[in-house]
Structure 1
Amino acid sequence: MTADELTGRAELPRTDDLPAVPHRLGRVLRAVVGPYLRGKYDLTIHHEERFPRSGPLLIAPNHLGLLDGPLLGAVAPRMTHQLGKLEAFVGLQGFMLHQAGQIAIDRSQYDIRAIRRAIQVLRDGRALTIYPEGTRGPGDFRKVRTGIAYLAMVTGAPILPVALLGTRLPGGDIERFPPRGSRVDVVYGETFTVDRVSFPRRQVDVRAVADQIGEVLRAHVQAAVDATGHPLPGVPNQKDPDG
């Protein structure tokens, strides 16, 4: 069953009944965390001029380790919202994530509330980070889930490929941050779009678009590795059941 079928609507789900997505704390945290991470790591941002400064945007980074979310949220040229695993939204951490503008998603099912929130962010002309791989891994975009394709198809938002390199060291633990002084590269790609598709958006069509997006993302990561000489860390040394 597709997200369209679950919502029971021919076009985008309603978002006008949703409260505004918080973001003030996110702006404060960016001002604090950004300088801290720039001081802690040997950080280089490549092609920052490619990052659109306004309008709806789907940010599509690869996913290597714990540092990915805080790093990209802190150094991006504008405030970003992020889809994150529901398991992280517990207790004080969950409250802080919510107030910082992050969106919890239950990856075990079609999470209609998270989809509506994501569409709301894009409809409001904001930037949304979604990890196409869905979980931490080798970071090569070998597998791309359909969520990014669905959001791109129904909203028309451009997609910005991002290659994160060095956020997990080869053989490094996915539950740890890289050590101080580690080299980290953030490489922005060229934005691209996919055709906007009206209802019905069949699952087979969404899957086909996800595969097309995956081809672009894989090419960008490989080009980033070649340009920087900074290799991907390979398969994690332990399984990550929670992403």
Structure 2
Amino acid sequence: MVALAPPRHITVQRCHSAPPGELVFYAFAKVVVGILVRLIWNPTITGEERIPRKGPVILASNHVSYADTVVMPMQVSRAVHFLGKSDIFKGGSPLNQVFALVLRGLHVMPVDRSGGAASRSAIEAGLTVLGEGKVLGIYPEGSRSPDGRLHRFKTGTARFALATGAPVVPVAMVDTFEAHRGRKMFPHRRPQMKVVMGEPIDVAALAEAFDGLEEGRLLRAVTEVIRERVQELSGQEYVDEYASDVKRRLRAEVDRPT
């Protein structure tokens, strides 16, 4: 079996239980928010049985809407822990504060993606979730798609999987971009949002197939397989460019003097 060790100074914690208060809060938030989501938007899910019932697993999803982080875990029986960009927790308006509270209640962990020690903190948070045998939700694009297309995946998902042995379940959020079009916070009721789960990917077996590749190329090769599986489920057009780079270019074009 080919496996990658966690980056230096990162430890994998195992077999810890969440505090009882946190579990109660999650259960309460999931029931209340789940009822509201189903009443208002009635999203559907296909393939939830493909998520292993026990043990660590990674859900690798495309990311086209703010609604993704709420809609997807509401459809999944197991608790899903997401690594969320810390910026979404810093809004000052009452609505943003409520949204941040809901996200925390749904096990979305704010992480700083600015690099250095902040990146190590994000990696450690993800490894801890998997080390405890839980479900980790990841958006490999690293940022929401600005145009509804699928963008180049970062290699963190592959590293998490190879370091822990967790299978990767590809996930497609379908029509959430269209449902959110023109809305800053809450999506339209139509089109109906869908969650589509694919067959689990045995990343260790992939690594064996790619035997002989140095670490960087191995991570990219495994990442491309995950991306292709997500794209097959979502039907999105693929752009070989990071979503964050596309966003910066679009902002620069808007700010460019005419």
**If the TM-score is normalised by the length of the shorter chain, which range does it land in?**
0.7 to 0.9
8 A Cα contact 2:81 2:109, kept in partner? yes
Paired position in structure 1 for 2:215: 205
**TM-score, length basis structure 1:** 0.76
8 A Cα contact 1:42 1:182, kept in partner? no
Q: Distance in 1 between matches of 2:162 and 2:44?
A: 32
* Structure 2 stretches lacking a partner, 5+ long: 208-213, 251-258
| 2:231 maps to 1:221 | yes
In 2 relative to 1, CA 114–24 (structure 1 residues): closer, same or farther, beyond 3 Å?
farther
| CA displacement at 1:65 relative to structure 2 | 0.8
Paired position in structure 1 for 2:7: 4
Q: State the structure with more CA Rg.
A: 2
* Structure 1 stretches lacking a partner, 5+ long: 198-203, 226-230
Q: Distance in 2 between matches of 1:193 and 1:152?
A: 9
Q: 1:151 aligns with which of 119, 137, 160?
A: 160
| CA displacement at 1:129 relative to structure 2 | 0.4
| CA displacement at 1:166 relative to structure 2 | 1.0
Residue 78 of structure 1 aligns to a residue in which SS? coil
Q: Distance in 2 between matches of 1:113 and 1:54?
A: 25
- Choose 21-30 or 116-125, whichever is displaced more: 21-30
Using the aligned pairs only, state the percent identity: 29
| CA displacement at 1:163 relative to structure 2 | 0.5
Paired position in structure 1 for 2:46: 46
Paired position in structure 1 for 2:87: 87
Residue 183 of structure 1 aligns to a residue in which SS? coil
Q: Distance in 1 between matches of 2:221 and 2:46?
A: 26
In 2 relative to 1, CA 222–177 (structure 1 residues): closer, same or farther, beyond 3 Å?
farther
In 2 relative to 1, CA 39–112 (structure 1 residues): closer, same or farther, beyond 3 Å?
same
Root-mean-square deviation (CA), in Å? 3.4
For 2:158, the aligned partner's letter is A
Give deviations 1:23-51, integer Å, cap 9, x for gaps: 43222111112222222225221122212
Paired position in structure 2 for 1:68: 68
Pairs within 5 Å for 1:63-142: 63-90=63-90, 92-93=97-98, 94=100, 96-110=102-116, 111-137=119-145, 138=147, 140-142=149-151
Q: Distance in 2 between matches of 1:215 and 1:141?
A: 14
**TM-score, length basis structure 2:** 0.72
Paired position in structure 1 for 2:11: 13
Residue 84 of structure 2 aligns to a residue in which SS? strand
Paired position in structure 2 for 1:29: 29
8 A Cα contact 1:47 1:187, kept in partner? yes
8 A Cα contact 2:30 2:106, kept in partner? no
For 1:147, the aligned partner's letter is G
| CA displacement at 1:214 relative to structure 2 | 2.8
For 2:142, the aligned partner's letter is G
Residue 55 of structure 1 aligns to a residue in which SS? coil
Paired position in structure 1 for 2:172: 163
8 A Cα contact 1:167 1:177, kept in partner? no
Q: Distance in 1 between matches of 2:11 and 2:18?
A: 16
Q: How many residues align?
A: 221
| 2:207 maps to 1:172 | no
Q: Which structure: greater helix fraction?
A: 2
8 A Cα contact 1:148 1:210, kept in partner? no
| CA displacement at 1:164 relative to structure 2 | 0.4
